[in-house]
Amino acid sequence: MKNFFFILFIVLSGFVTAQISHGGKPLSFGKVLTNNISLHETTVLNTQQYIDEDLITDVHKDIAWRFGIEQAVNLNLNNSGSWETLPNGDRVWRLEIKSKNALSINLNFSSFQLPKGAQFFVFNQKDVLGAFTESNNKTTGEFSTSPIKGDRITLEYFEPLSAQGKGTIQVSSVVHGYRDFFKQLKAFGSAGPCHINAICDTPFWGNEIRSAVMLLTASNTRFCSGALISNVAKDGTPFVLSAFHCNPQTNSIYMFNYQSPDCTNNIDGITTQTVSGCFLRASDAPSDFELVELSSAPPASYKVFYSGWSNINIAPTKGTGIHFPSSDVKKISHDKDPLIESGYYTAGNDHWEVLDWNSGTTEGGSSGSPLYDQNHRIVGQLHGGDADCGNDAFDYYGKFSLSWDANPTNSNQLKFWLDPTNTGTTTTDGYDPNGTPTTLDAVLLDATDVSPFICGDSISPIITIRNNGSSNLTSLIINYELDAGGVNQINWSGNLPTYAIDTISLPTMYVANGNHLLKTYCGNPNSGLDQNILNDSNQVEFKSNDNPLFGTLHFNTDNFGAESSWIIRDASGSTYFESKGYPSTVGGQSFTESLCLYDSCFTLVIRDSYGDGYCCAAVNGSIYLENNFGDTIYVDSTFSSDSLVIPFCLSTTGINEITNNSQFKIYPNPNQGIFTISSQLRAPYQLKIYNIIGKSVYQNNQPKNKEFIDLTTLHAGAYFILIETKESRIVKRIIIN
């Protein structure tokens, strides 16, 4: 498993600052101008090298889809083009640009300032962009145009006599489109079939759903996701958190409430609730974050919510993502398992890893979207990963806790902007600039500390509540019921302000072996009527295992252990166990995982994020899996793909009809390389011994019933003894010290 790599390539910025047109037609269309016009031709490009790079980069979420190559130019009103003066003293400047064999052309401007009454157009025989006017001027002076089909365009600038000499137009680059930008655009209906419309989770995630925002270029091209995020003061400063690799620009557009109004049917959402322009405040590459401040706060009619956050570096017990996969309507994804600390496709601790989404997934376009913990607080933003519909792969989110202040520079940290007065706040619970519409609304957010599979006969649930009402929550009744065994009640008291949370520990409950259902619900907030009963209840299904069979997984990593992960699924396909993350260490490391299972069959899936399995010559990784009798039921050291699927079974009577262990003994074990194998097998058998990477180190085709073995020439470690007859196989592990 090698470290993940990317090929460096030009990330297109050619249309990320484009502006909204105001209509009209160039004067050229009225034939009042002469045919004299200057032509600038760009360098002819060989695009094959870029096409070859695209074959690699297109499959990664964290690399923007590239369609054009940016060519630097220096074209302005003084050194290029041609002027023509009209009879009334007004002037027109025109320039034609050709980029041979381009499928499209768009332009970047380093300086763009139009005086009152001036108009600017970019056009060809089929398409017209403009008029652009003084309303398109920005304090940064930047400007750009969206792509126009073809390899030839005309620029036309009209300047009235009253503003003569006051306009500035400086073209800094021409983007040669070598791939069809217009066919690539993704939008409504593009996401995979496994996604869940965000509106389905409105009762519990309605506030956070209102925070989600889609990022668009100024030419209305959709490209990433983000979230409106609160500062400590909760003063409505419109900060948006997204990903560094999304590369938002000062003229990007932020679209709110683009979501399906229906849960079960995918219906296109509204696209009119936008804010144009932003100020770039902070960004940093290690955790891949970008914080911008919108040019204006979203109006009250948008009904937005500013999400809360946590800068505490503790692994969340659950994870939820809200995003726009493939620029489709807003979706929501849930991981019910603890998040894993990880690097980005390698060793490290600057990311949270979602090993396997339990519902939904992510796609391109989801990049930059928020990751929420079990308390509905942002803990990261999507950097990349392999998760998609049809697989159970992983995603990586840059850590909020690292983005907070790991970098001391103000422009590379969140703290300076979200907590400028240095209050020391570690968590905040969000903010609604319009105020909550209800006075009394208690939410039963979640019941945690109840895993889907319980090893043992008891649970000790923790209930999380939140106050969604405008009045402080001071009292609440919590009811809970296990398997229709009767309702129990807890009277809670406290003083929760709006959007604050609290946790309540329920008494330990004892359960028999099998499937169970825990129902929890709340009511009577402040001894009154809850004004929203849709978010008052929660239920957790789980399976208890009060008579477990313990298997053992021995996992030896190669140099790149951080690329390794595994999950165990039961016969229904549900995730029963999963790894907690491994470090990357030169020479690898050995780990032993105790598996609390039961009499049944399972599937072990080992995954490598890089896709090359075990590697590194002399430092190969390996696994071996033991059943509850200590028999090795699987050994592998040749894994060389992105995943390895291993079916296995545990049983109270043995595995695969293996002969009773009393017929086969090894002593002493552990030993120093000299030991005895005693067999009561009646039939002829073969004796083989393997090291942990599967290499044979000893073989005897006609062993005696008592065989003395001398392996003192071998290195210390674990070895496997295999005895085979025509009817049975026996595998045992020995340790040489």
Catalytic residue among 80, 260, 366, 367: 367
CA distances from 371 to 223, 240, 351, 352, 380 (A): 18, 14, 11, 9, 5
Residue closest to 259 by CA, chosen among 363, 318, 188, 191: 188
CA distances from 264 to 191, 201, 658 (A): 15, 12, 50
The conformation of residue 671, written as its DSSP 8-state character, comes to B
Q: Are 694 and 636 in contact (CB under 8 A)?
A: yes
Identity of residue 537: S
State how far the Cα of 155 lies from the Cα of 145, in Å rounded to an integer. Answer: 11
Identity of residue 410: N
Residue closest to 279 by CA, chosen among 307, 237, 341: 237
State how far the Cα of 221 lies from the Cα of 327, in Å rounded to an integer. Answer: 9
State how far the Cα of 682 lies from the Cα of 646, in Å rounded to an integer. Answer: 32
Beta bridge partners of 132: 120
Catalytic residue among 245, 323, 376, 516: 245
State how far the Cα of 567 lies from the Cα of 551, in Å rounded to an integer. Answer: 14
Beta bridge partners of 503: 464
Q: Is 245 a catalytic residue?
A: yes
Q: Are 549 and 456 in contact (CB under 8 A)?
A: no
State how far the Cα of 115 lies from the Cα of 173, in Å rounded to an integer. Answer: 23
Q: 89: left (phi > 0), else alpha (psi -120 to 50), else beta?
A: left
Catalytic residue among 54, 62, 201, 288: 288
DSSP assignment of 258-288: ---S-SSS--------EEE-EEEEEEETTTT
Taking residue 72's Cβ as centre, other Cβ atoms within 10 Å add up to 11
> How deeply is 645 buried, as exposed, middle or buried, from its count of CB atoms within 10 A (0-12, 13-18, 19+)?
exposed
Q: Is 40 a catalytic residue?
A: no
- Which residues does the annotation mark as catalytic? 245, 288, 367
